[in-house]
Structures are given as structure tokens and as C-alpha cells.
Amino acid sequence: MPLSRREFARRSAITGAGVAVVGTAGVLATTDGALATQDVEPEADGADEGADRGPGYGPLVPDPAGILALPAGFTYRVLTHSGKTKLESGEFTPSNHDGTATFEGPRGTTLLVNNHELKGPRSKWKYPVPLTEGLVYDPAASGGCTVVEVRPGGEVAEWVGIAGTSTNCAGGRTRWGTWLTCEENSDRAGENGMTKDHGYVFEVDPLDRRANRDPKPLKFFGRYDHEAVVVDPKRGHAYLTEDASGPNGLFYRWVPPKGFEHGRGQYRKLADDAGVLQAPRCYDSGGRFVDDLSRAAKTGTVFGVDWVDVPDRDAKSVDVREQFKDGQVTRARKLEGMWWADGGAYVVSSYAREESPAAHDGQVWFYDPRRRTLTLKVRLGVNPDPAKDGAFDGPDNITVSPYGGLILAEDGEGVQHLFGATDSGRTYPIARNDLNIGTEEEPEYSEFAGVVFSPDGRTLYANIQDPGLLLAITGPWKRQR
């Protein structure tokens, strides 16, 4: 039975520290598909077995090719490179790689659906997503998705999954094997050269190209600057994030209509106003309303969650997040990546600054739909020197590792990393972007995105957004303590 507000406050009063306060994610290692591997071993024979050598795989080794620094024993391969590799059609791979998911393909292949975060008219970009016949929503828009097939022998093929969408940022994988791609842009027809309204979610099937013809926006999920989406495989609810400020964005829940059965092609059959879109109203252990998630300053903080219906999900005259008055809903800055595991949704707030009640450089929350609670699992303090390698800031895309804990892609200031967070909340580096797109005097490094493991857990895929690279990382993966 879901935890009521009264019961939440009662239990919190008894424990004195909130419900089930366990620091960071004490159940991360129990995720579905967790691999039976050993803990990270001491680095040298005869080393003190009782010594705490910390999590991870050791220091990062600079890359002679100037692309990706990795721990010793790890290697990478560039699968797609905007403007260099080509699609099956002969056109160049689009730029601005972002959110990604992996799927088991036929005959031992791995399929990846890769978002391309391209905003505005096509003339703005050298390598927009090609307008493949039958797969175009708005011919004026430059974004979309490509599908990348990695064959057992290492060969790579790529084709368009959807085109004519805008600012395809993150998204989410469904349990029935499709990808929900999210537009982080809500231009109306006539704005910025667009011919159709944007700000929607679209479904892409990596296994059936015919299913992607005549793209249909899933308007029941709302029209706003979408980031990511996950679907509860048990209850059928969808959870969505919004990256926006002035006011800060919202974490949404979509409740399907009664009797609806999920599956391939089923979303297309729903009416634009199907189900109910809702926003959260959080309260602390004393039953007090929480206006913004940045107020949680300690891992283990637990907030109860009620859900408030969105009045006009298509934002006909007022943006969805602006339809609520102060005190009605709980907001957060830079709500970004999500991942479904352990019976709930891991949700990232990338950072908070002057637009929020309290500053931080990243939070990871866990929403438990059964208890209706949000628990703060990871919190990154403000990084005093982003240009210096070491500290992490600005997490964005996220995945739960089959080797325990979380893997996060940095989209912060200065140096950019892929980094891990263990069950106890400790962080460690996995990769560093060494590809300088600035100058020697003023170096600049693009964000990481699309971090996700292959279905067999042997390969970690990730994107460097600018200039647009899809990378496959392999090495001696081990379970993290």
C-alpha cells in the first residue's frame, strides 16, 4: 500500500531521520541483470587486504590520440563520427549525439538508437538528420534519431529512425523494446522556421523500420521541454523530466487510461488527451511542503510525494510548468537523465544556482512508486575549480551499472568525465574527454551523453556531443564494493 502523508510523517517522527534513510543507493547492486562478478581486488600482490583502496579502476591514462582517457587495461573504439562516418544512404552521420539506448538485434547484433540534439532550422547545421522519406515529422526541423547496428564481427551500419524533430536530448527505453525520444524544445509552428508544433515525445522502433513511418507525436505526455522518460513496467505509469528555468522545471507522471495495455504500437492508438499528466507536490518528514528539490542538503533525505493534475498538458496559452502557482508543486533545476531499475526511477538534477533555493553541482534521486517517496541518493557539492581534473559536476545522462552503482555522464563546466557512484555514494572516474574543441590557451571540452551498457554488459557506450562521436568502451569490468 502506498505511504500516506500521515503515515510518512508518523514513521519519520519515530526514526527521527526520515523513512528508510540509507545514505546512497543501498540496493543499486540488486538491479535486474546484475552480473555475478567479484569485488575489485587489491592492486598488487601482498598488498594490505584491509586497506581501503577506494572504488573504481585506478587513475585515467591520457590518450595519445587525444580523444578518451581511460584506466589502464581499458580500450575504446569510435563507432560513428559526425561528418566522417556515413549512413546506409551515403549521407554523413548527423552531429550532436545525445541520449542513447541499446537493444538486442537479430543474429547477434547490438542495436543502438542515438539522439541528435539539433535545434532550429536545418540551415543552422552542417550535418542535420537526413530527411528520409516517410520518417519526417517537420521538414523544417534538424534533429531526430539514428539507429546504429554493431555486428558480431565489428562492422557498423547506421540509418535514420526519425527525422524532422527538434533538440532530441534524452529519452528512455521501453520494456517492449522501443525508444522514446524527447524534444527539448517547444517551438510552435511559425517560430524559428518550424512548420509544426514541437515539444513532444516520439516512439522509435529499432527492430522494425516500417513501424517508424509517419511519425506521430505522443501528445498525451505533454508539450514542454522534455528531457528523459522511463516507464514503470509493472504499473504502466511513465515518468518524465523537464529541463527548464524561470520557473524551474518539473518531474512528471503520466497515468495511462484504465485498461490500457502497453506494447509495440499501442501508444499510437491513444488519443492526444489519453490518461492523466501530473506534477509532484513533495513534503518532508514533518509534513511540510517542499518547494524545490535543491533544499535537500544530505544524502538519505526522503520526501513524500503527492501528484497534482496538469490543467492543460498541450500548453495552448501557458507553458505547463507556469500553470501552477507557488506552493502547488515541487520544482527542480536541470532535471535531466533518468533510468528505471530497482523498482523505481533514478532521476538527475544536473545542478542548481541562483535560480534555486540552494546551490549544488548535481543530485540523483530515487523515486519509489510503491511508497510514493523521493530519496536523495547522490549529492555533489559545488565544484570550486571545474577546469581542474578531479572533482565531478553537472551529471546528465545516467545508467545503472550491471557491476553495481550508477554511471553518470558529465555535462558541467571545464573537464568532462564519465564517472561512477557506488552503493555507498563514493565516486570514481571511468573516462575523461581529452578532445579539445577550443584552443590551447582556452581549452574546451564537450559534454558526455548517452551512457549505456550493451545488453550483455561487456561494452559501455557513450557519446561526446561535439563534434559527435559514439564510443564503445571495453575492459576488465568488476563489481564495485
Question: Buried (b) or exposed (e) across 70-82, using 16+ Cβ within 10 A?
Answer: bbeebebebbbbb
Query: Residue 480's pLDDT is what?
Result: 87
Q: Residue 195 pLDDT > 90, yes or no?
A: yes
Specify whether the CB–CB gap between 435 and 419 falls below 8 A.
no
Query: Residue 6's pLDDT is what?
Result: 53
Assigned domain for 41 exists: no
Q: Residue 471 pLDDT > 70, yes or no?
A: yes
Question: Buried (b) or exposed (e) across 296-330, using 16+ Cβ within 10 A?
Answer: beebbbbbbbbbeebeebbbeeebbbebbeeeebb
Number of domains in the chain: 2
Assigned domain for 222 exists: yes
Query: Residue 207's pLDDT is what?
Result: 97
Amino acid identity of residue 128, one-letter, is P
Query: Residue 5's pLDDT is what?
Result: 54
At residue 426 the predicted structure's pLDDT band, cuts being 50, 70 and 90, is confident
Domain identity same for 317 and 369: yes
At residue 49 the predicted structure's pLDDT band, cuts being 50, 70 and 90, is very low
Q: What is the pLDDT of residues 227-267, one digit of tens each?
A: 999 999 999 999 999 999 999 999 999 999 999 999 999 99
Segment 183-193 shows an average pLDDT of 97
Q: Residue 319 pLDDT > 90, yes or no?
A: yes
Query: Residue 30's pLDDT is what?
Result: 29
Segment 402-427 shows an average pLDDT of 93
At residue 377 the predicted structure's pLDDT band, cuts being 50, 70 and 90, is very high
Domain identity same for 118 and 255: no
Amino acid identity of residue 166, one-letter, is S
Q: Residue 363 pLDDT > 50, yes or no?
A: yes
Domain identity same for 234 and 370: yes
Domain identity same for 131 and 158: yes
At residue 27 the predicted structure's pLDDT band, cuts being 50, 70 and 90, is very low
State the pTM of this model.
0.91
C-alpha grid cell, residue 60: 585515467
- Other residues' Cβ atoms within 10 Å of the Cβ of residue 263: 12
Query: Residue 424's pLDDT is what?
Result: 80
Domain identity same for 167 and 238: no
Instruction: Give the domain-ending residue among 139, 167, 185.
Output: 185
Q: Residue 225 pLDDT > 50, yes or no?
A: yes
Task: Tell which residue, 196, 236, 235, has the closest CA to residue 219.
Answer: 196
Instruction: Give the domain-ending residue among 185, 212, 247.
Output: 185
Query: Residue 39's pLDDT is what?
Result: 35
Name the more confident of 52 and 398: 398
Query: Residue 105's pLDDT is what?
Result: 97
Assigned domain for 52 exists: no
Domain identity same for 61 and 176: no
Q: Residue 358 pLDDT > 60, yes or no?
A: yes
The backbone torsions φ and ψ at residue 334, rounded to the nearest 5 degrees and listed phi first, read: 55, 50
Assigned domain for 49 exists: no
Specify whether the CB–CB gap between 162 and 178 falls below 8 A.
no
Segment 370-379 shows an average pLDDT of 96
Segment 460-468 shows an average pLDDT of 97
C-alpha grid cell, residue 406: 550508477
Domain identity same for 130 and 254: no
Query: Residue 100's pLDDT is what?
Result: 98
Name the more confident of 23 and 73: 73
Specify whether the CB–CB gap between 124 and 142 falls below 8 A.
yes
Domain identity same for 95 and 216: no
Segment 271-297 shows an average pLDDT of 97
Assigned domain for 479 exists: no
Assigned domain for 459 exists: yes
Instruction: Give the domain-ending residue among 164, 185, 206.
Output: 185
Domain that holds residue 421: 5-34+57-79+186-474
Give residue 63's Cα distance to chain centre.
26
Query: Residue 245's pLDDT is what?
Result: 94
Which of 40-49, 342-351, 373-382 comes out lowest in average pLDDT?
40-49
Query: Residue 53's pLDDT is what?
Result: 65
Round the average pLDDT of the chain to a whole number and report it. Answer: 90
Domain identity same for 157 and 259: no
C-alpha grid cell, residue 398: 545516467
At residue 192 the predicted structure's pLDDT band, cuts being 50, 70 and 90, is very high
Which of 35-49, 366-380, 425-439, 455-469 comes out lowest in average pLDDT?
35-49
Amino acid identity of residue 6, one-letter, is R
Segment 320-324 shows an average pLDDT of 98
Query: Residue 425's pLDDT is what?
Result: 77
Domain identity same for 219 and 321: yes
Q: What is the pLDDT of residues 67-111, one digit of tens each?
A: 999 999 999 999 999 999 999 999 999 999 999 999 999 999 999
Assigned domain for 47 exists: no
d(CA 195, CA 140): 6
Assigned domain for 48 exists: no
Domain identity same for 320 and 404: yes
Domain identity same for 178 and 192: no
d(CA 358, CA 356): 6
Query: Residue 70's pLDDT is what?
Result: 98
Query: Residue 50's pLDDT is what?
Result: 41
